[in-house]
Amino acid sequence: MLKREEHMDKKHYSFYDMVKNWTVSDFRTPGIKAEVIVDMLISDFIVDLIQYHYWDREQYTARLLTKELPVKLFPKEGEEEISEENNRNAKVDYLVSVGNEKLVLVELKTTNDSYVNKQEERMKEAVKRGPDELLKFYEKIAGRKKGNSSDRMKYKISFGQYQETLSAASLSREGFKELDYLYISLTDYNRLPEGKKLILEDYCRNGVKYKGFSSWLMNDEKGEKRNQLWEKVSDILLECAGKPVK
């Protein structure tokens, strides 16, 4: 007969396998947005991944400031002004701070087809114009009095959380001097710009950065548990990528 601890452990792994199968199945189902699934899987590790990515160059704490950040569209020469509605719908997945002076626009991708040159051009333009203009535009969108009431409420809530995060970390909009952009992708492919990509497969079991990242997670107060969780999450990511752990 199984001891209680062994029985619970068996139940735990049965539940994990069930969730894993559901997740991978949904990831491969047409019509279901794969980025949403990957976002769900890495949400608890997004800051760790980005901080580890930049650590060799910039040994600063990273913080997730907000998700679904609106980024202003600028018309090319000779084009008409972009409507407010289109501006509001142009977003990047995450805004992350690295230290007290740097912001990073982070876009999540899962396939080669989901990469769009126009999106990178938009992020490059935002980088060129700098963090102050980016954050002023976010404040403007969050403070809109007209338009879809549901969207306005969501922006109001997310902007409030963004302000709370800044305050808790003693950060200020005026303090940010640099803006960068980064793609997070499940696997690598040739359309992603060199030097602007974080490949999740590299951080999963047998990946080139797996051991280093696992050691990094162990530095956390709950390092062992987080490391175990990442092991499970990374195995699901590999299944989604079609490269299951043998």
The pLDDT profile of the chain, 246 residues, written as one tens digit per residue, is 434 344 445 555 577 888 888 888 888 888 778 889 999 999 999 999 999 999 876 678 899 999 999 988 776 665 556 555 555 557 899 999 999 999 999 999 886 666 667 788 889 999 999 999 999 999 998 888 887 788 888 889 999 999 999 999 999 999 999 999 999 999 988 888 889 999 999 999 989 999 999 999 998 888 899 999 999 999 999 999 887 665
116, amino acid identity: V
At residue 52, the pLDDT reads 94
This prediction's pTM = 0.85
CA gap 69, 134 in Å, rounded:
9
Backbone angles phi, psi at 32, to 5 degrees: -95, 125
**Crossing angle for the helix pair 117-129 and 131-142, to the nearest 10 degrees:** 110
At residue 1, the pLDDT reads 43
Continuous segment of H or E residues that includes residue 91 = strand 91-98
For the chain, helix (H) and strand (E) counts, in that order, are: 10, 5
Cα 86 to chain centroid distance, Å, stands at 22
Measured in Å, how far apart are the chain's first and last C-alpha atoms? 30
At residue 5, the pLDDT reads 42
At residue 77, the pLDDT reads 60
Contacts for 39-45: CB closer than 8 Å, 24+ residues apart: 39/93, 39/108, 41/233, 41/236, 41/237, 42/184, 42/200, 42/233, 42/237, 44/226, 44/229, 45/226, 45/230, 45/233
Q: Helix, strand, or coil here: 7? A: helix
